[in-house]
């Protein structure tokens, strides 16, 4: 086992632990903190089904952002839909269709998106470039950006570009890439391919995984916990007393 393989194996275990552990910790915080008052942004749905639909529109179509700023919506949506397809396409490198926990339908989906996944990479990078140009060119957005906001965009763009490079310019040995990751998951380590672009690509991905739960990427779980979006508008019908507020009544 080469030193490089061991190093990357350990890096990926660490990054995964940071990602899962960090997210679990944060989601626990979100879930544990009570929402003591009804604060949906109205007009709001008056039923739970309505709330599910509102959340669906928000997560899938970015409804509020669409109302707000068409350019940001367009770039943001391009990036996220591109990312989704790219992730789906990539999942064939990490799973085997004969594993019992991989649903057949999912694997079919993965196969289906393969051709789109490639172009999705371009859409994703284009969306990111659009977002970054807004961050630089629009004075208001420039004002609210910290260095980390720029670095985050840089990181994801580099991931996208290095990925596209491997697809179109400097091919990597995809069979051994898959062998390496399957080996990681099944604790049966295999040698890692050593070409530079590939190593760069996965180093950046490991970085992204590691910082995810400690950065603004928390918006992903955050939206599901947002009281202005996930509450039913029924305060006159039902009391909404939190545990700590209940204590005031004694």
Partner 1 sequence: MAKANFEVPELKDFIEIPVVTPDTMSHSKPYMAKPEFQIELGFPGELPEDWKDQALDAMGDLLGKYRSLQVYLDSCVKCGACTDKCHYYIGTKDPKNMPVARQDLLRKVYRRYFTFAGKFFGKLGIPEVVGAADFTKDVLDDWYSYFHQCSQCRRCSVFCPYGIDTAEISMAAREIMDRIGIGQKYCNEILGKVYKIGNNLGLPERALADTLEGLEEDIEDETGVKVRLPLDEKGADILLVTPSADFFAEPHVDGLMGYAKVFHEAGASWTLSSKASEAGNFGMFIGSYENMRRASMRIREAALELGVKRIIFGECGHAWRVAYSFLNTLVGPFDFLDPKYPVPQHILEYTWNEMKKGTLNIDKSLNDDMVLTFHDSCNVARASRMGDKPGGQFEIPRNVIKAVCNNFVDMDPSTTREKTFCCGGGGGLLTDDLMEIRVKGALPRMTALHNVIKDNGVTHMAAICAICKSQFTKVLPYYGMGMDQIVSVHQLVSSAMILTGQNTDDDEDE
Q: Pattern of binders to partner 1 over 177-216, x per CB under 8 A? A: ----------------------------------x--xxx
Rule CB under 8 A: choose which of 11, 16, 23, 35 binds partner 1: 35
Q: CA-CA distance, 30 to 151, in Å (whole number)?
A: 26
Provide the minimum distance between the beta carbon of 163 and partner 1 in the complex, in angstroms, as a whole number: 22
In the complex, least distance from residue 49 CB atom to partner 1, rounded to whole angstroms = 13
Window contacting partner 1 (CB under 8 A); options: 27-35, 113-121, 122-130, 189-197: 27-35
Kindly tell me which of 44 and 78 has the beta carbon lying closer to partner 1: 44
36 vs 241: CA distance, rounded Å: 6
Establish if 229 lies at the interface with partner 1 (CB under 8 A). yes
Q: How many whole angstroms separate alpha carbon 94 and alpha carbon 205?
A: 14
- Does 244 engage in binding with partner 1 (CB under 8 A)? yes
The least CB distance from residue 141 to partner 1, in Å, is 4
DSSP 3-state of 123: helix
Output the furthest CA–CA distance in the chain (Å, rounded): 70
Q: Is 163 exposed, middle or buried (0-12, 13-18, 19+ CB in 10 A)?
A: buried
Cα atoms found within 13 Å of the Cα of residue 58, Cβ hemisphere only: 19
Among 129, 155, 164, 223, binds partner 1 (CB under 8 A): 223
CB half-sphere exposure, 1, CA atoms < 13 A: 11
Give dist(CA 170, CA 163) in Å, integer: 10
Note whether 30 binds partner 1 by CB under 8 A.
yes
Considering Cα of 182, then 185, then 187, then 193, what sign does the dihedral take?
positive
- For 167, the token pair is 């697809």
By CB under 8 A, the residues from 132 to 151 that bind partner 1 are 134-135, 138-141, 143-149
Footprint on this chain of partner 1 (rule: CB under 8 A): 26, 29-30, 32-39, 41-46, 58, 62, 64-65, 67-69, 72, 76, 131, 134-135, 138-141, 143-149, 211, 214-216, 218-219, 222-223, 225-229, 233, 235-242, 244-245, 248
């Amino acid at each position: 086992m080469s030193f490089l393989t061991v190093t990357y194996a350990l890096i990926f275990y660490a990054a995964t632990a940071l990602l899962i552990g960090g997210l679990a910790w944060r989601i626990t915080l979100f879930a544990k903190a009570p929402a003591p008052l009804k604060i949906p942004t109205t007009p709001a749905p008056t039923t739970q089904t309505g709330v599910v639909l509102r959340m669906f529109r928000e997560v899938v179509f970015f409804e509020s952002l669409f109302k707000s700023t068409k350019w940001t919506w367009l770039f943001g949506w391009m990036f996220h839909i591109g990312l989704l397809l790219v992730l789906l396409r990539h999942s064939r490198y990490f799973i085997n269709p004969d594993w019992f926990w991989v649903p057949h339908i999912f694997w079919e989906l993965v196969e289906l998106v393969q051709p789109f996944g490639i172009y999705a990479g371009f859409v994703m990078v284009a969306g990111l470039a659009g977002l970054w140009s807004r961050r630089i060119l629009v004075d208001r957005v420039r004002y609210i950006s910290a260095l980390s906001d720029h670095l985050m965009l840089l990181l994801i763009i580099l991931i996208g570009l290095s990925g596209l490079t491997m697809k179109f310019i400097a091919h990597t040995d995809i069979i051994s890439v898959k062998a390496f990751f399957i080996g990681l998951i099944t604790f049966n380590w295999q040698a890692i391919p050593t070409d530079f672009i590939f190593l760069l690509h996965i180093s950046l991905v490991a970085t992204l995984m590691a910082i995810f739960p400690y950065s603004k990427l928390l918006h992903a779980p955050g939206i599901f916990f947002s009281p202005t979006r996930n509450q039913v508008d029924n305060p006159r019908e039902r009391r909404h007393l939190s545990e700590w507020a209940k204590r005031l009544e004694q």
